[in-house]
Amino acid sequence: MAAIQDRFKQIRTFIFDVDGVLTDGSVNLLATGERFRTVFIRDTYAIERALKAGFRVGILSSSNADGVRSWLTAMNVTAIFMGGPSDQKVNAYLGYIARDGLNEAEILYMGDDIPDYAILNRPVVFSTCPADAVAEIQAICKYISPVDGGRGAVRDVIEQVMKAQGKW
């Protein structure tokens, strides 16, 4: 556990997937064809606290939902990379690192499914996942939250990092 605490102390940037991490993976379909997702308010609170404490928060998702983008923008998340093929997520990740000059050793990434594999399997990134992530993802992550996606997994990792750094 000491090694995990040391990793929490190094984090300066959080990057999260949306479906299955910020949401429980459910997509509600309306008769109009609109799709909507539900987010957990405690995750929202933790993101707001992280931003106010000076952490970077980025979002990578192959889905491109206007409602999700509006919600993130309202929270002042500016690093939003949504849309595009799910097998190209790693390219968006690498582009974000290059664009903002990020140190990969200071990044915590949380994903839950195969499209996140190429990022989570990078040796330097602090790879994390919710408790209900698929088995292949759990097998490669350095930290598995005890909480499911969309039910506080994001809050868990943000709170752990900020507590380790004396910022919570």
Structure confidence by residue, pLDDT tens digits, 50-107: 999 999 999 999 888 888 899 999 999 999 999 877 788 999 999 999 999 999 999 9
Residue 37's pLDDT is 86
The Cα–Cα gap between 145 and 83 comes to 26
Tell me the average pLDDT across 32-58.
93
The Cα–Cα gap between 35 and 13 comes to 29
Percent of the chain past pLDDT 90, that is, above it, reads 82
24 is in an annotated binding site: no
Nearest C-alpha neighbor of 33 from the set 61, 60, 66, 62: 66
112 is in an annotated binding site: yes
Choose between 1 and 9: higher pLDDT: 9
pTM: 0.95
Checking DSSP bridges between strand 35-36 and strand 28-29, what pairing results, if any?
Answer: antiparallel
Domain at 87, CATH number:
3.40.50.1000
pLDDT of 122 above 90? yes
19 is in an annotated binding site: yes
Phi, psi of 128 (to 5 degrees): -135, 160
pLDDT per residue over 137-161, tens digit each?
Answer: 999 999 999 999 999 999 999 999 9
Residue 1's pLDDT is 67
3-state secondary structure of 155: helix
Range of the domain at 53: 1-165
Q: Provide the domain count of the chain.
A: 1
